[in-house]
């Protein structure tokens, strides 16, 4: 039961984090003042912390060694790419072109992570079984 609760929290946090990122990406593209609001700057950190902690808790609960599971290493690597590209897209990109490229890269990294989670394979969506 605890695992199912953690998994649900993790999935809801995943949906919330990508939805919020896409919204902030839209605001970046439209140069909206919404990006400067306090809640816009703080909420993603809260959601991402819940997202990360729920994932770590599931690994701990299942007594998994993440370094012996290639798909978990792939998820962590994808997470690092998502965070770095997301930071460039929303804040640190010097030009609009760089921010747009980083936005596309961050969303692609998130899609890769979701594929790894779904297939339990570092090959992500390339390993989806055909029925």
Band the pLDDT of 131: cuts 50, 70, 90: low
* Alpha carbons 56 and 102: distance in angstroms, whole number: 27
Residues 60-81, mean pLDDT to the nearest whole number: 93
Structure tokens belonging to residue 60: 């701990």
Which pLDDT value is given to residue 130?
62
List C-alpha distances in Å: 40 to 37, 46, 68: 5, 11, 37
Range scoring the smallest mean pLDDT among 1-15, 21-35, 44-58, 115-129: 115-129
- pLDDT cut 70: percent of the chain above it: 97
Q: Are 45 and 90 in contact (CB under 8 A)?
A: no
Which pLDDT value is given to residue 127?
72
**Terminal C-alpha separation, the chain:** 30
Residues 68-81, mean pLDDT to the nearest whole number: 94
- pLDDT cut 90: percent of the chain above it: 92
* Alpha carbons 3 and 46: distance in angstroms, whole number: 21
Band the pLDDT of 115: cuts 50, 70, 90: very high
Band the pLDDT of 53: cuts 50, 70, 90: very high
Q: Are 109 and 85 in contact (CB under 8 A)?
A: yes
pTM equals 0.90
């Amino acid at each position: 039961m605890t695992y199912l609760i953690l998994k649900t929290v993790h999935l809801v946090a995943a949906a919330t984090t990508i939805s919020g990122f896409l919204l902030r990406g839209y605001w970046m593209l439209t140069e909206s003042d919404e990006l400067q609001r306090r809640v816009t700057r703080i909420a993603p950190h809260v959601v991402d912390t819940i997202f990360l902690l729920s994932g770590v808790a599931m690994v701990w609960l299942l007594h998994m060694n993440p370094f012996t599971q290639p798909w978990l290493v792939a998820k962590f690597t994808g997470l690092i790419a998502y965070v770095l590209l997301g930071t460039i897209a929303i804040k640190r990109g010097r030009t609009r072109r760089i921010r747009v490229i980083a936005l596309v890269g961050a969303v692609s990294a998130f899609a890769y992570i979701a594929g790894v989670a779904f297939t339990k394979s570092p090959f992500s969506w390339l390993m989806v079984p055909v029925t």
